[in-house]
Amino acid sequence: MRLIAILILFLLTGNYYAQVIQQYKFRLNPAHENDFFGVSPVFVNNLFIAGSPQYDKYGENTGAAFLFNSNSLQSSPRIIIPPTRHANAFFGFWIHFIDDIVYISAVRDSANGSTADRGAVYCYKPEGDSLRYLGRIISNYPRARYFGSDIDKKGARLVIGSRTAFYTQTMYSGAVMAFTVTDSTLVEDTVLFRRVPQKAENFGAAVSLNNGYLFVGAPQAQDIALFVGAVDIFRDSGGTLTYITTLLPDTPANSTMYGTEIATNESQLIISAPGGIGAPDDYTGLVYIYDSFPPFKLRRKLSAPVRSIRGFGNSIKLRSDTLFVGALGGGDVQADGYAFLYKLSTGTDIPVLSLKPTDHLFGQAFGQYVDFSGNKFQVGSPQDKRGLSNSGSLYYFVVNPTGVSNEENKEENALFANFPNPFNTSTVIAYRLKAGGRVQLFVYDMLGNEVAQLVNEDKPPGYHEVSLDASKLASGVYLYKLQAGSFVQTRKLMLLK
């Protein structure tokens, strides 16, 4: 497998703060029509990966993912394919890296032995510069079409969208499958639908877990008007998911596709509405920013800083308070896509970075997929038509870190919010250690009395999780404190029985 990697000098657009040092463009060689290379790029430690869901090397359109090493950009990527190939499986349709596991969706896979379109999610463990296959996840629900449309995990809760799952034998509206994860088992305990499902709502196209809540996008929901979109919110209380409310755009327009992408941090809920076919000519797309806790108050909206483009918010990635937004373009011969980086803590709507390809080609969909890690950025352009129609490409940027920082530094100590929270009886607390050593993680009541010792021993550096069994504690608010060397951090948790 050879790869074409082109180093392109980048011309910065606009008066922004960060500057691009290098830009690489990757294309498959040989490429095939409709490979759609550049789908769902994701950083995996010092590696990065992108999907090609109709990769046709084997004449089956099985799909593949391509794994690159950021320390050796000129080297050929590793090709990741499922252990058993199935025609038109769309392997690589969606990729996530969560808790040191890479999840790769094959949304039309028939690996479960039934008809196509059921879908499967393949799991891999990063090891050095490769991925070790662990196994696959399939749903027990017999009508789970496009299973793997989106994925998220917090603690023991794993959720997977199935955006065209059938609610009845003849009506598809989408669903979300919720699993409980332990050390050795994965149990599918809930299948969620909309309260009043309607055809083609794409419920489950986007999912996000945060602060004890599950947020589910239905970007073609018809609550207000045709295809405006909606986001349903569920409370996750110790294994039970309960619907609580629905968010709708405050400025609806035809085909806004509100709920196409969802991202969350401890205080913010980000929902994109990039628009679609039939949207008004002046609708370029919006990104809504809410509180990520009740009553989920709308704080502000971001709109495209370049008015000639469309599809602003087609892809979003959030790291701490840094938001990366893709806008795939369309509707204008010069609108071949952008990607914008925002520092949400500044309160300004001016991006600190704007990325655009210098090798212009109308309709290449630059910005359809985005990801970033520190000062490195990926932008997928899966409809790039150079050479062969929709063969696709992937852009890789290295940026001067001035004005661009990822506060979620994986090299620093951190104590994370417990999940779920509030909780009933059991919750998971995660923490990260920069260096190994003695660790104490204790729980206290609001009077300062110690009620539980979760960790009191030496621990190696890295990410750790521990469960709190609160079956003998009374309902109320408690504090949990992590001490590792000179580092001390305290957080609150709420027990509801």
Choice among 238-242, 400-404, 480-484 with the minimum mean pLDDT: 400-404
- What is the C-alpha to C-alpha distance for residues 13 and 10, in angstroms, rounded to an integer? 9
Residue 480 is encoded by which pair of tokens?
A: 């949990």
Residue 362 is encoded by which pair of tokens?
A: 């109308």
Q: Are residues 487 and 341 in the same domain?
A: no
Work out the average pLDDT over 377-405.
76
Q: Are residues 351 and 435 in the same domain?
A: no
Domain boundary among 399, 433, 462: 399
Domain boundary among 333, 365, 399: 399
If pLDDT is split at 50, 70 and 90, which confidence band does 354 have? Answer: confident
Q: Are residues 295 and 422 in the same domain?
A: no
SS (H, E, C) the chain: CEEEEEECCCCCCCCCCCCEEEEEEEEEECCCCCCCECEEEEEECCEEEEEECCCCCCCCCCEEEEEEECCCCCCCCEEECCCCCCCCCCEEEEEEEECCEEEEEECCCCCCCCCCCCCEEEEEEEECCEEEEEEEECCCCCCCCCEEEEEEEECCEEEEEECCCECCCCCECEEEEEEEECCCCEEEEEEECCCCCCCCCCECCEEEEECCEEEEEECCCCCCCCCCEEEEEEEEECCEEEEEEEECCCCCCCCCCECCCEEECCCEEEEEECCCCCCCCCCCCEEEEEECCCCCCEEEEEECCCCCCCCEEEEEEEECCEEEEEECCCCCCCCCCEEEEEEHHHCCCCCCEEECCCCCCCCCCCCCEEEEECCEEEEEECCCCCCCCCCEEEEEEEECCCCCCCCCCCCCCEECCCECCCECCEEEEEEEECCCEEEEEEEECCCCCEEEEEEEEEECCEEEEEEEECCCCCCEEEEEEEEECCEEEEEEEEECC
Q: Are residues 380 and 461 in the same domain?
A: no
Q: How far apart are the first and last CA of the chain?
A: 57
If pLDDT is split at 50, 70 and 90, which confidence band does 137 have? Answer: very high
Report which of residues 81 and 330 the model is more confident about: 81
Q: Are residues 283 and 425 in the same domain?
A: no
Q: Are residues 319 and 376 in the same domain?
A: yes
Asked if the peptide bond before residue 274 counts as cis, ω within 30 degrees of 0, the response is: no
Q: For residue range 315-324, what is the model confidence (pLDDT) as tens digits? A: 999 998 899 9
Cα→Cα distances 389→272, 356, 364, 449, Å: 28, 21, 10, 66
* Residue 447, C-beta contacts closer than 8 angstroms, at least 6 positions apart: none
Q: For residue range 432-460, what is the model confidence (pLDDT) as tens digits? A: 888 889 999 999 998 889 999 999 999 98
Q: Is 238 exposed, middle or buried (0-12, 13-18, 19+ CB in 10 A)?
A: middle
Query: Which CATH number does the domain housing residue 132 bear?
Result: 2.130.10.130
Domain boundary among 399, 432, 457: 399
Report which of residues 352 and 286 the model is more confident about: 286
Q: Are residues 330 and 447 in the same domain?
A: no
Q: Are residues 350 and 442 in the same domain?
A: no
- What total number of domains does the chain contain? 2
Q: For residue range 37-68, what is the model confidence (pLDDT) as tens digits? A: 999 999 999 899 999 998 877 667 789 999 99
Percent of the chain with pLDDT over 90: 46
Q: Are residues 389 and 420 in the same domain?
A: no
pLDDT at 173: 92
- What is the C-alpha to C-alpha distance for residues 349 and 92, in angstroms, rounded to an integer? 33
Query: Which CATH number does the domain housing residue 476 bear?
Result: 2.60.40.3080
241-253 burial, b at 16+ Cβ within 10 Å, e below that, comes to beeeebbebeebb
- What is the C-alpha to C-alpha distance for residues 300 and 344, in angstroms, rounded to an integer? 10
pLDDT at 192: 96
Structural domain boundaries, residue 271: 2-399
Are 243 and 196 spatial neighbours (Cβ–Cβ below 8 Å)? Answer: no
Cα→Cα distances 57→3, 37, 87, 390, Å: 14, 12, 12, 15
Are 306 and 338 spatial neighbours (Cβ–Cβ below 8 Å)? Answer: yes
Q: Are residues 366 and 463 in the same domain?
A: no
Q: Are residues 22 and 150 in the same domain?
A: yes
For residue 482, is it within any domain? yes
Report which of residues 7 and 151 the model is more confident about: 151
Q: Are residues 178 and 285 in the same domain?
A: yes
